[in-house]
């Protein structure tokens, strides 16, 4: 309560006016239920409404940029997330940080919240179809045989008598992939170079043909015999390149020696262009490869290296690199294998050559252009089972009615 002194009538009216104004201000501050004048809003109400509106607009705007259906932008409010998810099961969601700036009592305030947005599903990656092998392109995989083999080409021969026990397109000339490394090993052994000589991997050993990778780093030094082991056991392409490059006269002279050795062995359907087998121009027939297996089996070093199950080397950084045999039949332990080599490039399909003892008989097996990663090994098992349980007949080989005559006749370009 205000007490006004009657002795100052001049100021009484002014003080009364000031007091009334203060009372009205206090009433407006502590009585939010007091109705405002028609058509007007209080400053507090206006600021609060503006703040809510800005926040709402910000949320809607961020969601509008993240949700697209049928090429149109659709605003999605927080309350309708579940409905949107049910309406489009093909959409993924992602979390986006929303940054909002407000001013409270004259101070700038930044608020960051995380909002889940719908995101259209990306199209699933579809790998390019694999290129058909040459045997498949020529129709050799349509050949029917008594053992139902998955290999387009097969030959089984008694090593001691050279008697052919089973044949399937034996004269078809096809790429042989890493079977080439058996010829590489023969040429290296014929050169009589020191097997303990240290050789070095260089950029010249990089695969420019297929772009394959290798764990043998540039600058790595190993003795020649370890490069030979890695080439035969684990089919290491860079190791085979090192062997060919360190031949007297370099790789060109090495390739000439490979083709010269093929002619000495009577491999008239064979041609070699590199030491690794990465080029599809390395070609041969099953009949020729049987001769190569017999010749390679005579060398104890090649026999040992091709059938070793595993080997480790030390890399440049000191880490141990472990290699295993590429032939799962060698690793399985239930075969008596004297020599083997696997091979694969797209043009050749899956390939396998082996010398093994079955029922006390030394047998040479050749499988080319097998469909599927494990089919060549399954074909070898079928042949072994057949030799163990079926009398061995002798007869003409089966041939594909769709195969061109020039392929089956053994015609192939000669090497130099």
Catalytically annotated residues: 178, 181, 235
Q: What is the CA radius of gyration of the chain?
A: 41
Q: State residue 366 phi and psi, 5-degree precision.
A: -130, 125
Of 287, 252, 128, 258, the closest CA to residue 191 belongs to 258
388 token code pair: 């163990």
Choose among 130, 137, 133, 162: nearest CA to 400.
137
Distance of CA 281 to the CA centre of its chain: 25
Per DSSP, 205 falls in state: G
CB atoms within 10 A of CB 194: 9
Contact between 76 and 84 under an 8 Å Cβ cutoff? The reply is: yes
Percentage helix, strand, coil for the chain under 3-state DSSP, each rounded to 5: 40, 25, 40
Nearest to 209 by CA among 279, 273, 277, 274: 279
**What tokens does 172 get?**
């078809």
Torsion sign over Cα 398, 401, 403, 405? positive
In order, the DSSP letters of 210-261 are S----SS-TT-EEEHHHHHHHHHHS--HHHHHHHHHTSTTHHHHHHHHHHHH
Exposed (0-12), middle (13-18) or buried (19+): which is 153, by Cβ within 10 Å? Answer: buried
For 16, 44, 51, 61, 276, the CA distances from 80, given in Å and listed in that order, are 58, 31, 22, 15, 62
DSSP per residue over 288-299, as a string? Answer: HHHHHHHHHHT-
Calpha distance 259→351 (Å, rounded): 20
Contact between 398 and 169 (Cβ < 8 Å): yes
Q: What backbone torsions phi and psi does residue 193 show, to the nearest 5 degrees?
A: -80, 150
């Amino acid at each position: 309560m205000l007490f006004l002194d009657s002795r100052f009538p001049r100021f009484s009216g002014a003080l009364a006016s000031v007091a009334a104004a203060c009372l009205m201000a206090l009433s407006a501050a502590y009585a939010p239920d007091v109705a405002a004048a028609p058509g007007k809003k209080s400053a507090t109400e206006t600021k609060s409404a503006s703040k809510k509106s800005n926040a709402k607009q910000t949320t809607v705007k961020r969601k509008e940029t993240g949700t697209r259906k049928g090429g149109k932008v659709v605003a999605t409010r927080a309350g309708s997330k579940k409905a949107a998810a049910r309406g489009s099961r093909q959409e993924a969601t992602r979390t986006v940080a929303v940054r909002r700036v407000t001013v409270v009592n004259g101070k700038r305030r930044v608020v960051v919240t995380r909002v889940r947005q719908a995101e259209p599903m990306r199209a699933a990656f579809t790998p390019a179809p694999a290129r058909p092998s040459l045997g498949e392109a020529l129709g050799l995989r349509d050949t029917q045989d008594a053992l139902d083999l998955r290999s387009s080409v097969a030959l089984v021969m008694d090593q001691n008598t050279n008697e052919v026990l089973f044949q399937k397109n034996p004269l078809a000339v096809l790429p042989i992939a890493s079977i080439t490394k058996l010829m590489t090993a023969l040429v290296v052994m014929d050169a009589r170079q020191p097997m303990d000589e240290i050789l070095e991997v260089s950029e010249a050993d990089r695969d420019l043909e297929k772009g394959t990778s290798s764990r043998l780093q540039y600058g790595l030094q190993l003795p020649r015999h370890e490069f030979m082991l890695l080439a035969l056991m684990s089919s290491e392409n860079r190791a085979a390149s090192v062997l060919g490059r360190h031949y007297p006269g370099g790789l060109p002279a090495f390739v000439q020696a490979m083709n010269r050795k093929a002619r000495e062995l009577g491999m008239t359907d064979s041609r070699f262009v590199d030491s690794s087998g990465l080029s599809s121009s390395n070609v041969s027939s099953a009949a020729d490869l049987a001769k190569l297996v017999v010749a390679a089996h005579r060398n104890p070093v090649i026999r040992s290296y091709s059938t070793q199950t595993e080997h480790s080397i030390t890399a440049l950084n000191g880490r141990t690199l472990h290699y295993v045999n590429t032939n799962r039949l060698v690793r399985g332990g239930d075969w008596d294998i004297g020599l083997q080599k696997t091979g694969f490039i797209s043009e050749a399909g899956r390939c396998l050559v082996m010398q093994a003892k079955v029922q006390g008989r030394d047998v040479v097996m050749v499988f080319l252009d097998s469909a599927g990663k494990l089919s060549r090994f399954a074909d070898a098992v079928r042949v072994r089972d057949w030799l163990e349980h079926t009398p061995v007949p002798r007869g003409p080989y089966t041939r594909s009615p769709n195969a061109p005559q020039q392929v089956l006749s053994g015609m192939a370009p000669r090497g130099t």
